[in-house]
Amino acid sequence: MLQVRDLAVEVGGRLTLVGGSFTLRSGDKVGLVGRNGAGKTSLLRVLAGENPAAAGVISRPPAFGFLPQDPKPRGAGVEATGLSHVLSGRGLDQLVQRIEKLQAEVAEDPSDRNVRRLSNAHDEFERLDGYAAEAEVRRIAAGLGLKADRLEMTIDSLSGGERRRVELARILFAGSDALMLDEPTNHLDVDAKEWLFGFLRAYQGALLVVSHDLALLDQSITRVLHLDEGELVEYKGNYTQYVKARASDEARRAKLAQRQDAEIKRLADLADSMRGQTAKRARTAKSIDTRVARLETTRVVDVKQRKKMNLRLPTPPRAGTTVLVADQLAKAFGANTVFEDVTFTVGRGERVLVMGLNGAGKTTLLKVLMGQLDADLGEHSLGHGASLGYYAQEHETIVAGRTLLDHLRDYAPDLTDQERRNLLGMFGLPGEMAFQDAATLSGGEKTKLVLSMLTAGRHNVLLLDEPTNNLDPPSRAAVGQALRDWKGAMVLVSHDPEFVAELAPQRVLMMPEGALDYWSDDYLDLVALA
């Protein structure tokens, strides 16, 4: 059971939650919703004990699993492989190592003490269902779309999407009393999402999930917690039912707020009209002032109309006819060849979509093109006047301990701080966030910061690796429209069919084969799968 009482959450000097209280019991499946920047990710971090609460009490179950938006593998198995890492969720990897050590000790010294220690270790292994554990790990990994051979590879050699799947598999395998999952469907294809939906529906513990995947919210949850403007409101039912209830609630609050504002204005005007007259009227005015003050402290605040993101990316500097050339590129990690003989060019203003299953080398290719990884074979170069910008799916360009303004200063040294703040505001990051540590941002806010950095950098070629991950639907639509109208060139990786359709790429690069084809709408059916 997870119990929360009078919780306050502070991020970058601002309170994103005040007085939040709720309880999750076994079998509860709760969706945490709210706009980008409302504080959902920060709330989950506090609930998981990763960040301190500003106030309040949290009672956590002894065993719980937490999947952050940008998970880094936590701890490590005794081996550096994905399989060992997942097994470490129950401590089985270390237990196997301990049993092997005890077996060697018994062989040298078969004393009662050593035999008893070995017997106890075997009993613990059986209690944790160790003999069936590897089969269970492989079943979970397969359900999440992680191929069997990828489990044998080291964590560091896996793609970002694969590392996230390994961490999710570890959490699901561990057998927790409660799960707190932040965007668990990121990097999952359609089949893997369906498997996860089924797992979560059958899960017997308490579930709290943040997701922009409406199918997950509709299929898997029974309650919704809505977080906005520091307030946490609970709704019964799935996401569709919540949307209707929330709309009705907002309409009711708006009408009540109008009536209260009208009454406050009427009384204030009445008090003002009495001032400066007789002493009796002055006392009456003062009494009315007290009543107005009391009404103002208890009035309902109307739901703020959110500003629609209106992004207009600047016209990029003109480049030559060909902006990027890749010639017979190959990359391997140890004995694992990720791709080879990849050859293509990108023309000025052209959009190329890179497709392939998880592990096909899409992210690795972009990192090679950006110069973050060295190609084992082949060459790549920029054309005349080309300037390369990179959006990394794991927000690798964001540095902890540096503010949002610090990041923009690096990319736009010629702009004034006011111009930088205006740019942040255009991406839905208001001025009061300018001096906030960028590492404390939510996933959606980090996405907006990186896109603002790319805009400030005046690039004319963008490498985009899953740029819509973590964005809420309005922000995703705004980013898609802005990039659609932008005149620069793009090499794009995305599982988002609507976003890809908006950008209308001219060509498709299939990985790991490196095969090129002209874009056709028939490929849209494959985007979510690849």
Query: Which of 346, 348, 344 is closest to 320 using CA atoms?
Result: 348
Q: Which CATH class is domain 322-527?
A: alpha beta
pLDDT recorded at residue 75: 46
* DSSP calls for 351-413: EEEEE--TTSSHHHHHHHHHTSS--SEEEEEE-TT--EEEE-TT-TT--TT-BHHHHHHHH-T
Residue 356's region, left for phi above 0, alpha for psi from -120 to 50, else beta, is: left
pLDDT in tens, 384-442: 999 999 988 777 788 888 999 999 888 888 888 888 888 888 888 887 788 888 888 87
**pLDDT confidence bin for 109, thresholds 50/70/90:** confident
Entry pTM:
0.69
Residues of the chain with CATH 3.40.50.300: 1-63+177-256, 322-527
CB contact at 8 A, 363 and 464: no
pLDDT value of position 30: 93
Strand arrangement of the beta sheet that strand 377-382 belongs to = 336-347, 322-333, 377-382
Residues 6+ away with beta carbon under 8 Å from 367 = 373
Which CATH fold would you assign to the domain 1-63+177-256?
Rossmann fold (3.40.50)
Q: What is the 3-state secondary structure (H, E, C) of 102-115?
A: HHHHHHHCCCHHHH
Report pLDDT digits (tens) over 42-70. Answer: 899 999 988 899 999 999 888 888 988 77
Residue type, 200: L
The CA-atom distances, in angstroms, between 314 and each of 116, 191, 233, 320, 460 are 72, 39, 40, 18, 10
Look at residue 369 and tell me whether its pLDDT is greater than 70: yes
How high does pLDDT run on average in the chain?
A: 86
